[in-house]
Chain A
């Protein structure tokens, strides 16, 4: 027993099931989603352990959202109270960890956020605002600059988080997910590797359908942990989707509650934030109990789904070999990340990329032209020209966190000169100075 007691950690749980909120009555993101998780967590008596404490979520503010998002036309029009609470729950988790009240924390909240990108015209992939990103920038604002790693373990590619931190050398985004050729949102391939100023700060590990515990734990040990060991983040955040489970109705993976618990034990995130996961009866109750026990350093070995059969869920040798190849490829890229900038950028001062973004939940289509200043001293000034088929066209100028003087000066100059013209609004966001202006 002594050895298990030594592993015990003080774990904070922020549980907010939003029992009165749904996207629509039969939508997967509905009132019932965390009902059985609540039942299981209560029945197992997890909140009675001395080292597990439950906290009420705080409410995030519009300023917390404006620190990271450009909401069109403004934050209040794209969110509801539920988003302020789920982002607030993530922030509370961070507060409890950073103040030292607990060793780690799990925000078991909804609605989720990892498909929400920097510019927000509406909801995509059930997400309106990115609750992890809101939390990360809150941490930086209140606890100083930090190197942060976000490991997205949701079955869907964490494309929103990736997009927000594409140019940020201080945020490492790692996503493991079902291969984008077989699942929404259709992205997250190994060659999506970060912007010119942050090469290697985005890592994608697509896994083939029917990957089981073995495959997930393989990439965790062979790719994610070595990269984290080298990057040495101040904080590790698990963007903890639970839809890799073998019973999930909208995905095709074979991960189990044991696998999820083991993953969290090895990854040892400082903060975990619930993302997707829609097998609300057969997976979530067991997966969440497993994650909470693992984070608290308590024995999770007896957690098991009633219908679990290891043999039936075993992945094929073909899948194993496929995963090994992907892992090797990612590690190759990671090792070469510093040599890639020159050939990619050449002597260009600015680099542009064009994006088409589809908001499946709200049925909105957006065209974006994003320009970043090539910079060796910071993440680089970012400018976005965004045009949605709602008829709204906006322009955003974003001075990154820990920006260099040149990027800031150029950003301020652009904003001063910019006339509204065809744009409904022009936004200026300065992370370091916590400034957000719309004109």
Chain B
């Protein structure tokens, strides 16, 4: 048995899956002030009458860290930043309690200026006097050489509860995002730590002894006990849960688009050959651009509750939401009211829907039915336009080789997966306008919990092998090792695969789920003074988002 729980902004869902069939579902409103309570209540409800000994795994998805960031309920973080020359500090993310120290690393990973111990100790003393207990230490190009970050942290760590290190956040280059990501990680560390302890205490009290996993923004899971030092990886896991839900419920091994149509917004995600696309660098939350691997989604301000009005000869549909549909007692006509008039959905009071559209119809000089049709077409049209522009953007992403330029993959979706309240009412029309085959997944009301339940562990490893320096660096692991001057990309890939395996197993991955994929493999001759000085090898390997083994996608749950 697998227990999947998604603590979302509005609802908390749980599913119990046995033999890859849904045995039970539960849904309760989320108590935003006490997320843990919602989690415990739904778990207690679904486990009532069940034998906890039969559980094989438990997976959670929670908005805890997301909410903490959105609501600003975070710790003060002292940021110690070694940027060296480049962008002026004014152009870096503006975080209070930031101290710029001397020292930096260049693009080859060579220390270009040393750090100053006395300066660092003085910064530590200042932060300590201000009562700051959480730190972030970030250096430019620290993924190319973590030594200065490690040394700085070692000089400071005694006086602080937690120190987040920039290079551990991601193997990607991006100093500004590294600062923001490290800050967020440290800022939510304390509350996440408490959450993890509470969860573990609860499950143990229930007699559950199997691994507990938590969902990350990229749709992968990791062991909750191992997640404590990287809480920021769990932000925005809600959309990831729903995408993984679609992946589990739909036969999807081709290019496809997934829509989650809510009351206010519609989220769009894209699958390439059945794999959900990830953000190139990382997700954005509350204006913080991060290096958190996350699913690439686009959100538009259009949903079932989008308000409809007619002003100055023009029809407006969304992005405003004034309340629920008029048919459900809301204050103004909405897209849902139009769909009720068109008999595309049977919810609410049909008379109220007609009444709400009547003034609009008069203004437009049309019948109520014709007006409803226009509103419906306009709403679908907006979603369709957003899907098209998203696909265009993906297909026009810059590439850096002639090969990719001429033979690059073009995403050409054929299928449209539609979830959310208005899914049944809109799917056919959207499919027709896009010329995609519309599909409404089963159990879509608990898709998030199902997605969490069945998601496997994901991870990535970034390798730079510099044979001139005889040095191999694994950025996000903080590992540097000596290599011989004759070293090949194949050897780097082998090291990457092995390290990825170790990393994933430590994160709680099941050995059968380790489907390793090489996502970057570049090898450059380094020529100095007209002679071959060495090779610069760049390799990235990953476990891509997917479902746990034993489960065939699209199999009936």
On whether the beta carbons of B175 and A45 are closer than 8 Å, the reply is: yes
| Beta-carbon nearest neighbor of B92 in chain A | A45
On whether the beta carbons of B398 and A32 are closer than 8 Å, the reply is: no
CB distance from A56 to the nearest CB of B (A): 4
Number of A-B residue pairs at CB separation under 8 A: 117
Out of B84, B85, B401, name the residue touching A18 (CB < 8 Å). B401
Chain B residues closer than 8 Å to A85, beta-carbon distance: 402, 405
On whether A249 and B90 interact (CB within 8 A), knowing A19-B401, A45-B174, A45-B177, the answer reads no
On whether the beta carbons of B141 and A298 are closer than 8 Å, the reply is: no
On whether the beta carbons of B524 and A31 are closer than 8 Å, the reply is: yes
- Tell whether A40 is near chain B: CB-to-CB under 8 Å: yes
CB distance from A118 to the nearest CB of B (A): 26
CB distance from A21 to the nearest CB of B (A): 6
| Beta-carbon nearest neighbor of A26 in chain B | B527
On whether the beta carbons of B525 and A285 are closer than 8 Å, the reply is: no
Chain A residues closer than 8 Å to B113, beta-carbon distance: 306
Chain A residues closer than 8 Å to B536, beta-carbon distance: 32, 35
Chain B residues closer than 8 Å to A17, beta-carbon distance: 400
- Tell whether A339 is near chain B: CB-to-CB under 8 Å: no
Chain A residues closer than 8 Å to B129, beta-carbon distance: none
- Tell whether B424 is near chain A: CB-to-CB under 8 Å: no
Out of A32, A49, A82, name the residue touching B526 (CB < 8 Å). A32
CB distance from B446 to the nearest CB of A (A): 36
- Tell whether B399 is near chain A: CB-to-CB under 8 Å: yes
CA distance A274 to B174 in the complex (A): 23
| Beta-carbon nearest neighbor of A17 in chain B | B400
| Beta-carbon nearest neighbor of A293 in chain B | B87
On whether the beta carbons of A35 and B524 are closer than 8 Å, the reply is: yes
On whether the beta carbons of B90 and A1 are closer than 8 Å, the reply is: yes
- Tell whether A20 is near chain B: CB-to-CB under 8 Å: yes
> A12-67: which have CB < 8 Å to B?
14-21, 25-26, 30-32, 35-36, 38-40, 42-45, 48-49, 54-57, 59
CA distance A35 to B406 in the complex (A): 20
On whether A303 and B86 interact (CB within 8 A), knowing A16-B400, A43-B141, A281-B108, the answer reads yes
CB distance from A8 to the nearest CB of B (A): 11
On whether the beta carbons of A285 and B107 are closer than 8 Å, the reply is: yes
- Tell whether A344 is near chain B: CB-to-CB under 8 Å: no
Interface residue range, chain B = 35 or more
Out of A39, A57, A82, A305, name the residue touching B173 (CB < 8 Å). A39
- Tell whether A283 is near chain B: CB-to-CB under 8 Å: no
On whether the beta carbons of A39 and B107 are closer than 8 Å, the reply is: yes
Out of B112, B525, B529, B532, name the residue touching A31 (CB < 8 Å). B525
- Tell whether B191 is near chain A: CB-to-CB under 8 Å: no
On whether A30 and B85 interact (CB within 8 A), knowing A54-B398, A82-B402, the answer reads no
CA distance A76 to B175 in the complex (A): 43
On whether the beta carbons of A302 and B529 are closer than 8 Å, the reply is: no
Chain A residues closer than 8 Å to B176, beta-carbon distance: 44-45, 48
Most buried by B among A14, A19, A42, A281: A19
On whether the beta carbons of A15 and B398 are closer than 8 Å, the reply is: yes
> B363-411: which have CB < 8 Å to A?
396-403, 405-406
On whether the beta carbons of B85 and A56 are closer than 8 Å, the reply is: no
- Tell whether B91 is near chain A: CB-to-CB under 8 Å: yes
CA distance A55 to B403 in the complex (A): 17
On whether the beta carbons of A40 and B107 are closer than 8 Å, the reply is: yes
CB distance from B284 to the nearest CB of A (A): 9
Chain B residues closer than 8 Å to A409, beta-carbon distance: none
Chain B residues closer than 8 Å to A15, beta-carbon distance: 398, 400
- Tell whether B201 is near chain A: CB-to-CB under 8 Å: no
On whether the beta carbons of A19 and B522 are closer than 8 Å, the reply is: yes
Out of A56, A298, A304, name the residue touching B91 (CB < 8 Å). A298
> B112-131: which have CB < 8 Å to A?
112-113
- Tell whether A323 is near chain B: CB-to-CB under 8 Å: no
On whether A306 and B106 interact (CB within 8 A), knowing A85-B402, A85-B405, the answer reads yes
Most buried by A among B289, B402, B406: B402
On whether the beta carbons of B525 and A32 are closer than 8 Å, the reply is: yes
On whether A43 and B140 interact (CB within 8 A), knowing A17-B400, A54-B398, A56-B399, the answer reads yes
CB distance from A274 to the nearest CB of B (A): 14
- Tell whether A389 is near chain B: CB-to-CB under 8 Å: no
CA distance A57 to B399 in the complex (A): 9
Most buried by B among A26, A289, A304: A26
Please, what's the 1-or-0 string for B461-474, where 1 marks a CB less than 8 Å from any CB in chain A? 00000000000000
Given A25-B532, A281-B108, 9 extra CB contacts under 8 A:
A26-B530, A32-B525, A32-B536, A36-B108, A44-B86, A44-B87, A56-B396, A303-B86, A304-B85
Residues of B within 8 A of A (CB): 84-91, 106-108, 112-113, 140-141, 172-177, 289, 396-403, 405-406, 522, 524-527, 529-532, 536
9 tightest A-B CB contacts, nearest first: A45-B176, A304-B85, A306-B112, A42-B173, A43-B173, A39-B107, A302-B88, A20-B401, A56-B398
